[in-house]
Amino acid sequence: MAKQFSGKRPEHFGHTLHTFLSYLGRHRFLFALVGILAASSALANLLGTYMIKPIVNRIVEDGGLQGLIGGVTTAAIIYAVGALSALGYTQIMVNAAQKVLRDIRHDLFSHLQKLPLRYFDSQRKGNLMSLFTNDVDTVSDALNNSFAMLIQSFVQVAGTLLLLFLLNWQLSLIVVIGYAAMYFYIRYSTRRSRWYFNRQQACLADLDGYIEEMVAGQKVVQVFHHEKESLDGFDARNENLRAAGTGAQGYAATMVPAVVSISYINYAVIAVLGGILVILGQTDVGSLASYLVLVRQSAMPINQLTQQGNFLLASLAGAERIFEAMAQEPETDEGTVELVNVQEKGGVLLPCEEKTGRWAWRDRSRPDAPLVPLRGDVRFEHVTFGYHASRPILRDISLYAKPGQKIAFVGSTGAGKTTVTNLINRFYDVQKGVITYDGIDVRNIRKDDLRRSLGMVLQDTHLFTGTVADNIRFGRLDATQEEIERAAVIANADSFIRRLPQGYETMVTGDGANLSQGQRQLLAIARAAVADPPVLILDEATSSIDTRTEALIEKGMDRLMEGRTVFVIAHRLSTVRNSNAILVLEQGQVTERGNHEELLEQKGEYYQLYHGMFELS
């Protein structure tokens, strides 16, 4: 049965094809060998069919067995070569296709790692995952099924036409008419089904989205007793998919029978006319027998050629989406300042290879410049920033955090608290103003080195598949087991970890689905602790932890913060009372600054927030 054509075609055919061929070119020898073997298989089938002519004619002429045996043996050898060629190209094709897919997946994943966060903010996770699944699978099907089949079908169609004209050009004119009828019907059916296939894909996407939404919100559905309404919504979308699928499959299902029927009519006409030509002595029996077999076999390669061509176009459409993602501009980094290990000799800091626990900034563009010790002094000077340039989030803010200070940000949702921390680690670059780190413009510091000097605990904790120890070690991959356990003690995670079935070797799966939200947060804090950074950013790090757990980790957090510059985005004002400075952000501007007692005395916005929370508690 022919493959169903989705109707999708690449918008930029030339560029997509060129990029796709460049991947095939990395393994050009294998694909060239596949092409040769596929063509050999097709030619062997044609020549084997052509051998009917001499075999039949020898039987008619002399009736001897010797000529029959010789002809059959020759035909058997030809078919054997074809079968071996088919076996060879199928095995080589599997190997070549998997190598191409490996290269595409590697380049895609590698490129995504280099894209700025702004790109991921504008993309749904499902769309990115579909690049590695649906689109790569489409390319895989094209390589495994269509590449060799397209070559083989083309050789068979061209070779069949050539042999038909060599055997009898008069009858071949009628065959060409049949070929044209097949082609135009396939074109007609494809165009008619294209709209239905596109609608089918849209209905399928709608249904998949609805199912995902209902499954994720099943608890809410049952709480409000909306099971019937949920089923009604599913049935409506399921019916739309049925109607679209029926139209698409209806046209696709007629394609093969129609082509076969046209070939039968063609065969019958040729058989009658050929018989007349034999009676009139204008052709021989062997030629007619060979001719009829070729005509009978002609329908399949024509149908395959059209179908495989259409399917290859659809596959290129999937490849185009992959290549579009790979064409996105990667995150630029023009920084020249890097972080190096240092040791002090004679009062002078010198770079060294071994780990000393001391770090400094070195500017590669100025080899003679003195090293700048890593202290954790962070300053904002008249910074303006917006995720969209026309809609600023931060407006001309200036703030500072001296080494070892704990700076807290409070304010209403959307005030710009998280944005401040995103700018420190250069997830985004400022539009106006400057951010300095130890007196160095952060835009001059290599992003990898900048982020290596920062520890961050996000509000939305993400855990990876692996052991508990592996997830803590993610903060510093060369951390020893002893260092991991020490970090867990600091975060007050050690006690609950040891109560797990395998302790630190307990497997974490499904983003920590086997752990509570509070436990996941504690592991994130331990991950930051093992990194041992001079600057620590806590983005509502205790928002998912109950008050009892919060009280238990307070001492540990204080130990973690000791001697570090710490930025805290506060969900609970009780967590920032001991901060050196508390900054109140509203509408992207710093409206108040001071410690807990000073801000309460001012009786401004902080006073209102604090007492509002107190009353709620």
548: pLDDT strictly greater than 70? no
345-349: average pLDDT:
79
574: pLDDT strictly greater than 80? no
Q: What percent of the chain has pLDDT over 90?
A: 9
The residue that leads in pLDDT, 151 or 103, is 103
Residue 341 phi/psi, 5° resolution? Answer: -70, 140
Q: CB neighbours (10 Å) of residue 478?
A: 7
**pLDDT band per the 50, 70, 90 thresholds, residue 614:** very low
Mean pLDDT score across all residues of the chain: 81
CA 262 to chain centre: 44
DSSP 452-475: HTEEEE-SS----SEEHHHHHHTT
pTM of the complete model beyond 0.75: no
Least confident among 29-38, 197-206, 233-242, 431-440: 197-206
User: Computed from CA positions of residues 269, 272, 277, 278, in that sequence, does the dihedral angle turn out positive or negative?
Assistant: positive
- Please give the class, per CATH, of domain 378-616: alpha beta
Q: What pLDDT score does 456 carry?
A: 82
* Topology agreement, domain 13-326 and domain 378-616: no
436: pLDDT strictly greater than 90? yes
107-118: average pLDDT:
86
Q: What is the pLDDT of residues 359-390, one digit of tens each?
A: 889 998 888 888 888 888 889 999 999 888 77
596: pLDDT strictly greater than 50? yes
Paired tokens of 590: 């710093």
Closest-CA residue to 498 (of 527, 519, 477, 524): 519
Q: What pLDDT score does 103 carry?
A: 92
CA distance 354 to 579: 35
274: pLDDT strictly greater than 60? yes
Tell me which architecture the domain covering 13-326 has in CATH: Up-down Bundle (1.20)
Q: How far, CA to CA in Å, does 299 sit from each of 178, 187, 488?
A: 9, 15, 71
Q: What percent of the chain has pLDDT over 70?
A: 87
Q: What is the pLDDT of residues 295-337, one digit of tens each?
A: 777 767 776 776 676 677 667 777 888 888 888 888 888 889 9
Whether the CB-CB separation of 455 and 541 falls below 8 Å is answered with no
Closest-CA residue to 557 (of 489, 485, 475): 489
405-416: average pLDDT:
82
Q: What pLDDT score does 467 carry?
A: 92
579-604: average pLDDT:
86
3-state helix, strand, coil in the chain (%, to 5): 60, 15, 25
**pLDDT band per the 50, 70, 90 thresholds, residue 3:** very low
Q: What pLDDT score does 65 carry?
A: 63
Residue 308 phi/psi, 5° resolution? Answer: -65, -35
Whether the CB-CB separation of 21 and 316 falls below 8 Å is answered with no
- Give the CA diameter of the chain: 122
Domain-wise residue ranges, the chain:
13-326, 337-372, 378-616
Least confident among 7-16, 118-127, 576-585: 7-16
Q: What pLDDT score does 433 carry?
A: 92
348: pLDDT strictly greater than 70? yes
185: pLDDT strictly greater than 80? no
Least confident among 2-6, 194-198, 226-230, 365-369: 2-6
Query: Dihedral through CA 18, CA 20, CA 22, CA 24, nearest 10?
Result: -140
> SS3 string of 517-535?
HHHHHHHHHHHHHHHCCCE
**pLDDT band per the 50, 70, 90 thresholds, residue 4:** very low
User: Which residues are within 8 A (CB) of 246 and not within 5 positions of it... i.e. 6 or more apart?
Assistant: none
Paired tokens of 461: 């904790």
472: pLDDT strictly greater than 80? yes
Q: How far, CA to CA in Å, does 324 sit from each of 258, 320, 509?
A: 38, 6, 32
